[in-house]
Amino acid sequence: MRKSTGYFMMGIGFTLGIVLGLLIQLPVITLPTSGREHVDHGLDLVGSGPDVRKRVVTRELSNDGNNNGLRSGEGLDRITSTYPLRGLKHSLHSVVYPINNGTKSHLQEKSVPIPDIKHDYKPQSSNQPVVLPPASDPDIPKPGQQGTDWVKAVSDMVDGVLWSPALENSCFKAGQSDKAQKQWREKSSRSKVVKMSEGCGRMQNRLLMLSDGTRACARYRLNTDQIQGEIYSFYLGRLLRINNLLPTVLSVVNSQSDNWRTVHTDMANAQWSDNKVVVLTRWSEGLNPAYIPVHLRGDDRALLPTSGSLGEMGACELMQWSDLIIFDYLIANLDRVVNNIHNKQWNSQMMESPAHNLERDSDGNLIFMDNESGLFHGYRLLDKYSSYHKSLLDSLCVFRNSTVNIIERLHLSGNVGEELHQLFVQDEPAHNFIPTIPKKNMKILQQRVGDVYEQIQRCRVRFM
């Protein structure tokens, strides 16, 4: 009896020990602090509501250069450069989850250190014309090259936290994307599908051959929000004037219509149903894998307007990467760079592998492929993956001027969701076959626009 009692007491003690140990090791959820140090520069927005802050900001912008004693750009400088971030609301997605002992692993959000800049650093000016590298030439001058004024080379590429206008003009042709989209919309609506085969990814996607020989990828999904994610992400890219998405339209399939009758047997074999909406994306020849820049591969990732961060890749490609980081943050895309970062825990070489769903065309332009997780599925998984998105956004401090202007306008107007829907309805003939974006998703998108806006202002303070 005593022996049984002893075993019983030992069992109770062992169980209590395990429970106590587990309690000690439970993770702690820490929300980001809202405290900030402020310096008064004359625009008192602290404690004001969002409407008051918006009126103050709008007034300063409207006064900019309009005979109010302000030099051109000074109104914006007062808000963004000398008085940044005051009263701006934190995103609701920046939750940090420390693990067991309170330290952070690579899965948690982190602050990216910004290298020191010498106080006497000033871009050198010159009366000589700026000579920029060709858009497809990856051989940007590097520090230490004989006869190269590296500081001047950097100043030719960046202006503060913006890519230089000369560089941007050399990399992109204005209106090219709009023209290509219009042509694709007209072609896809009037052309017959004469061949249908596998070759556009997994599941029920199909490669189509049109009557004039043009090829297209058709995205067929039973889940409507994947179709929504793809098409609305495309139109968000157009709203941002980002030209890295292939021309895309919606099409309603009908095996009895002139456009689809030729391939009705193939449609049945693919288990396509009539009156379903598919996304048609123009096929692009000669695509090659694209790699993540060295600046963004490590845990100390940073793409900054400083000499050390611009010497390893062509400036035109880095400019596109700055847009990619913003675009993927806004739509919360899981299937591109975030995919590589997440899988690094199982494959240490993942960041040196080609970026997922990213290609490079024959002209050296990046193509942002397969955005179906954007704005919908990605938003449902923010609690799990927000730290990845945030670490990429925090690493970015050099931007396209046109992207900055649009982000600032969308942040101040507060109606990015309405503008996106309006553009979609205006330019997409089959818009009635797709549900509108839910208000909850529009609210998240607006918050993430605010996050990007805040990052731009933070960078201005550091580098201007």
For 324-341, what is each residue's pLDDT tens digit?
A: 999 999 999 999 999 899
How high is the pLDDT of residue 70? 41
Relative orientation angle of helices 315-331 and 439-463, to the nearest 10 degrees: 140
> Range with the lowest mean pLDDT among 56-65, 158-167, 378-387, 388-397?
56-65
In the predicted model, is pLDDT for residue 375 greater than 50?
A: yes
Backbone angles phi, psi at 290, to 5 degrees: -115, 145
Residue range 144-174, pLDDT digits in tens: 333 344 344 556 788 889 998 888 888 877 6
In the predicted model, is pLDDT for residue 409 greater than 60?
A: yes
Residue range 189-206, pLDDT digits in tens: 999 999 999 988 878 999
Residue 90: how many other CB atoms lie within 10 Å: 15
Average pLDDT, the chain: 75
C-alpha to C-alpha distances, 377 to 227, 332, 335, 386, 415, nearest whole angstrom: 11, 9, 11, 13, 22
How high is the pLDDT of residue 412? 97
In the predicted model, is pLDDT for residue 84 greater than 80?
A: no
The pLDDT confidence band at residue 282, using thresholds 50, 70 and 90, is: very high
Backbone angles phi, psi at 30, to 5 degrees: -115, 120
How high is the pLDDT of residue 199? 82
How high is the pLDDT of residue 6? 58
Angle at 305 between CA 303 and CA 308, to 5 degrees: 75
In the predicted model, is pLDDT for residue 135 greater than 80?
A: no
Most confident among 19-28, 68-77, 100-109, 240-249 (mean pLDDT): 240-249
Among left, alpha and beta (phi > 0; psi -120 to 50; other), residue 364 is left
pTM of the model: 0.70
- CB contact at 8 A, 309 and 302: yes
The pLDDT confidence band at residue 88, using thresholds 50, 70 and 90, is: very low
Nearest to 339 by CA among 320, 326, 322, 358: 358
